[in-house]
């Protein structure tokens, strides 16, 4: 992995699962962004300064300094990963064959579409205020959706012959990035889902790769120490 | 739009927003699947017969009869749209330039990732049983997330210069497919979000296109009549 000069500015938060995905993608492509920390716990995503960067108040936002239209930030982790793949094809984060690409994107969606949106801070805010959820009910909600998503994933990975060292064959893809993005955020919440041996095996393989290890939430600016 | 022979089998439900997306994509590409109706209201997605097709019990599932590995169905609407785009590039559902592709995929994700997963039947089931939501609380939840997503979309579409007849320029893309997929499902719930003129204008333009009109939930097998 060779580091290239700062062509990108990444607006990020240490614990954000979606930011993690983009960090791993940038790392795999050997791209080193200048990183700007947006403290979601302090509401900085709604500050006047950040809303000038991204009017929707969401991280990650990636500014492509090399582009003509550099004022519009790239948003949405899956769209950013696809952009990186389109722009820097090597090393690939998608297989070359159509059915393989469809399988990787489908697995990625099981995690980033079916699972993660249900446990975001804005959902927590609604459920714990309007919805009268106490902390215990919120935790049960988190465990329900992490468990639903990861058990469905385990069923696929353990039954489908395309599964290898990673979710699809022996090179990491967007599917692994999304898998790891769910596991790392579960760890920050101290939630464990049992009986998912294939998922755990693949996660351990991901963590052997620098691009994943360097993106770990605990190693980012703003993470709790000790 | 020329209709090609049945190369695909689509497992569908009339009201499903994700199935709608795949229907529009197939229509735009001039592909005519054999359609199999899975009655989600009657729990058919959990029947032994359907679980043999898709062990995860979800629609849409698309079987590519032309493929060697035809036993594994394609799942997840965004992954299926990308597969159709990879396999049948014309007419395109994504722009050709990298930043344009990133913008279209980002808008698609605001709807299919940030918005739709929150109002699915499985979320309703959890909230109305474990979460003690009554019908009024569920409806307020739906309105909150449809409104949040569509107001954020309106802000983008009305401020970004790339917006044209459709979300991105003057040809329909995956962004329009996802936009329309949210509006049509809102209509089945008789929910209206006000003050989104750009969204409404683009929806009206989508409905002028056969590929969208033919995919309307009300025109599918199983839809209520009258």
Query: Which residue has tokens 């995690």?
Result: A111
In sequence order, the 6+-apart residues with CB closer than 8 A to the CB of A135 are A128
Could you please report the per-residue DSSP string of B20-58?
A: HHHHHHHHHTTB--EEEE--GGGTGGGSHHHHHH-TT--
Instruction: Answer yes or no: do B99 and A67 touch at CB < 8 A.
Output: yes
- pLDDT of res. B53: 83
Q: Are residues B105 and B74 in the same domain?
A: no
Query: Which residue has tokens 């396999």?
Result: B87
Domain assignment present for A2: no
Please report, rounded to a whole number, the percentage of residues in chain A having pLDDT higher than 90: 83
Q: Are residues B106 and B41 in the same domain?
A: no
Domain assignment present for A77: yes
Interface test with B, best of A99, A100, A123 (most B CBs within 10 A): A99
The number of beta carbons lying within 10 Å of the beta carbon of residue B139 is: 14
Write out pLDDT tens, residues A145-158: 999 999 999 999 99
Instruction: Answer yes or no: do B82 and A72 touch at CB < 8 A.
Output: no
Write out pLDDT tens, residues A78-106: 999 999 999 999 999 999 999 999 999 99
Longest CA pairwise span in chain B (Å) = 50
Look up residue A132 and give its two tokens: 């009268």
Instruction: Answer yes or no: do B144 and A126 touch at CB < 8 A.
Output: yes
Q: Which residue of A has its CA nearest to B64?
A: A99
Instruction: Answer yes or no: do B137 and A131 touch at CB < 8 A.
Output: yes
Contacts of B117 in chain A (CB under 8 A): 113-114, 117-118
The arrangement of strands across the sheet holding B74-75 comes to B34-37, B8-12, B61-64, B74-75
Final residue of a domain: which of A40, A60, A91?
A91
d(CA A31, CA A24): 10
d(CA B154, CA B149): 9
Domain assignment present for B139: yes
The arrangement of strands across the sheet holding A61-64 comes to A34-37, A8-12, A61-64, A74-75
Q: Are residues A17 and A123 in the same domain?
A: no
Domain assignment present for B161: yes
Look up residue B204 and give its two tokens: 């009206």
Q: Each residue of B3-21: b (16+ CB within 10 Å) or e?
A: eeeeebbbbbbbbbbbbbb
Domain assignment present for A169: yes
In sequence order, the 6+-apart residues with CB closer than 8 A to the CB of A163 are A156, A157, A198
Q: What is the ipTM of this complex?
A: 0.95
Domain assignment present for A220: no
Average pLDDT, chain A: 93
Q: Are residues B202 and B114 in the same domain?
A: yes
A68 vs chain B: nearest CA distance in angstroms?
10
Instruction: Answer yes or no: do A99 and B127 touch at CB < 8 A.
Output: no
Q: Are A156 and A199 in contact (CB under 8 A)?
A: no
Q: Which residue of A has its CA nearest to B75?
A: A106
Q: Are residues A64 and A156 in the same domain?
A: no
The structure's pTM equals: 0.95
Q: Are residues B69 and B104 in the same domain?
A: no
Q: Are residues A114 and A134 in the same domain?
A: yes
- How far is CA A18 from each of CA A55, B37, B62, B110, rounded to the nearest angstrom? 18, 35, 28, 13
Average pLDDT over residues A41-68: 86
B214 vs chain A: nearest CA distance in angstroms?
25
Q: Are residues A161 and A205 in the same domain?
A: yes
Look up residue B193 and give its two tokens: 């979000």
Look up residue A96 and give its two tokens: 């070359």
User: What are the backbone dihedrals phi and psi of residue B165, each rounded to the nearest 5 degrees, phi first?
Assistant: -60, -35
Asked if the model's pLDDT at residue A173 lies above 90, the reply is yes
Q: Are residues B102 and B87 in the same domain?
A: no
Q: Touching check for A158 and chain B: CB below 8 Å?
A: no
Domain assignment present for B150: yes
Domain assignment present for B226: no
Q: Are residues A182 and A123 in the same domain?
A: yes
Tally the C-alpha atoms within 13 A of residue B78's C-alpha that lie toward its C-beta.
29
- How far is CA B186 from each of CA A64, B85, B135, B203, B209, rounded to the nearest angstrom? 35, 27, 16, 13, 20
Q: Touching check for B99 and chain A: CB below 8 Å?
A: yes
Asked if the model's pLDDT at residue A52 lies above 80, the reply is yes
Count up the domains in chain A and report the number.
2
In sequence order, the 6+-apart residues with CB closer than 8 A to the CB of B130 are A140, A144
Instruction: Answer yes or no: do A123 and B118 touch at CB < 8 A.
Output: yes
- Domain with residue A181: its CATH number is 1.20.1050.10
A210 vs chain B: nearest CA distance in angstroms?
26
Beta strands in chain B (DSSP E): 8-12, 34-37, 61-64, 74-75
Instruction: Answer yes or no: do B110 and A76 touch at CB < 8 A.
Output: yes
A207 vs chain B: nearest CA distance in angstroms?
26
Q: Touching check for B37 and chain A: CB below 8 Å?
A: no
Instruction: Answer yes or no: do B126 and A133 touch at CB < 8 A.
Output: no
What are the beta bridge partners of residue B74? B62
Helix (H) or strand (E) holding A75: strand A74-75
Q: Are B141 and A122 in contact (CB under 8 A)?
A: no
Residues 51-80 (B) with a CB less than 8 A from some CB of A: 55-56, 64, 67, 69, 72, 74-76, 78-80
Instruction: Answer yes or no: do B113 and A78 touch at CB < 8 A.
Output: yes
What three-state secondary structure class fits B134? coil
Write out pLDDT tens, residues A3-25: 455 689 999 999 999 999 999 99
Tally the C-alpha atoms within 13 A of residue B74's C-alpha that lie toward its C-beta.
26
Contacts of B105 in chain A (CB under 8 A): 76, 78-79, 82-83
Final residue of a domain: which of B63, B91, B119?
B91
Q: Are residues A109 and A30 in the same domain?
A: no
The answer to whether the Cα torsion of B107, B169, B87, A86 is positive or negative is: negative
Asked if the model's pLDDT at residue A1 lies above 50, the reply is no
Of B99, B112, B131, the CB nearest to A69: B99
Contacts of A144 in chain B (CB under 8 A): 126, 130
Contacts of A114 in chain B (CB under 8 A): 117
Contacts of B99 in chain A (CB under 8 A): 64, 67, 69, 72, 74, 83
In sequence order, the 6+-apart residues with CB closer than 8 A to the CB of B84 are B25, B26, B29, B31, B93
| pLDDT class of A72 with cuts at 50, 70, 90 | confident
Final residue of a domain: which of B48, B73, B91?
B91
Low-confidence ranges of chain B (pLDDT < 70): 1-6, 67-71, 226
Contacts of B98 in chain A (CB under 8 A): 83, 86-87
Q: Which domain holds residue A53?
A: 8-91
Q: Are residues A124 and A28 in the same domain?
A: no
- Domain with residue A60: its CATH number is 3.40.30.10
| pLDDT class of A31 with cuts at 50, 70, 90 | very high
């Amino acid at each position: 992995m060779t580091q290239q000069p700062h062509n990108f500015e990444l607006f990020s938060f240490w614990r954000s699962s979606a930011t993690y995905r983009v960090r791993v993608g940038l790392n795999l492509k050997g791209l080193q962004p200048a990183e700007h920390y947006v403290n979601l716990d302090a509401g900085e995503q709604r500050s006047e300064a950040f809303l000038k960067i991204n009017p929707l108040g969401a991280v990650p936002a990636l500014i492509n300094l090399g582009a003509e239209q550099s004022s519009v930030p790239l948003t949405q982790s899956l769209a950013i990963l696809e952009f990186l793949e389109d722009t820097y094809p090597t090393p690939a984060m998608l297989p070359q064959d159509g059915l393989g690409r469809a399988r990787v994107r489908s697995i990625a969606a099981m995690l980033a579409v079916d699972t993660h949106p249900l446990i975001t801070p804005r959902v927590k805010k609604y459920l714990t205020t309007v919805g009268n959820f106490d902390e215990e009910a919120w935790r049960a909600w988190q465990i329900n959706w992490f468990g639903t998503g990861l058990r469905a994933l385990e069923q696929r990975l353990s039954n489908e012959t395309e599964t290898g060292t990673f979710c699809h064959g022996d090179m990491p893809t967007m599917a692994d990035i999304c898998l790891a993005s769910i596991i790392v955020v579960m760890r920050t919440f101290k939630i464990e889902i049992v009986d998912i041996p294939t998922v755990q095996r693949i996660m351990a393989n991901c963590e052997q790769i620098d691009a994943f290890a360097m993106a770990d939430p605990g190693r980012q600016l703003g993470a709790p120490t000790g």
